[in-house]
Amino acid sequence: MYEILIKSDFCGAHNLKGYRGRCEELHGHNWKVEARFEKDSLDNIGIAVDFKLLKARLKNILCKLDHTYLNKLKMFKGKNPSAENIAKYIYDALENSIKKDKHLFVKSVSIWESDNSCATYYE
């Protein structure tokens, strides 16, 4: 089994309703994203999957989040755009974007809202 890791980032603002602390107020982060994939085989030139392909798919997902007020996006309607919920949203979107490749799987998505705070989603 091979594990592939790509990283990216986006900027976005949010507030956590019901938090009862400073994060309940509108604030922003420079979010860092790590997406891990698994593949059980290599192609005929020894590559599991082209990094460029995965980075492009992640970029297409993140462009919907970048420079937005996350609470107003339809994917977070009815739930807080917490790091945990953002990680799950990106995980599901990535999984949907690669479903044609039967041997490639999303392993996890980690969202860093600061250098010291990270949430990871995996199944």
Residue 101 pLDDT grade (very low, low, confident, very high; cuts 50, 70, 90): confident
53 backbone dihedrals φ, ψ, rounded to 5°: -65, -50
Q: In the numeric block, which tokens belong to residue 117?
A: 């705070």
Span 6-58, pLDDT tens digits: 999 999 999 999 999 998 999 999 999 999 999 999 999 999 999 999 999 99
Span 83-95, pLDDT tens digits: 999 999 999 999 9
pLDDT attached to residue 49: 95
The domain total for the chain is 1
CA distance 81 to 120: 14
Q: Which residues are 103's β-sheet partners?
A: none
Looking up residue 65, the CATH number of its domain turns out to be: 3.30.479.10
Q: Give the residue numbers spanning the domain of 76.
A: 2-121
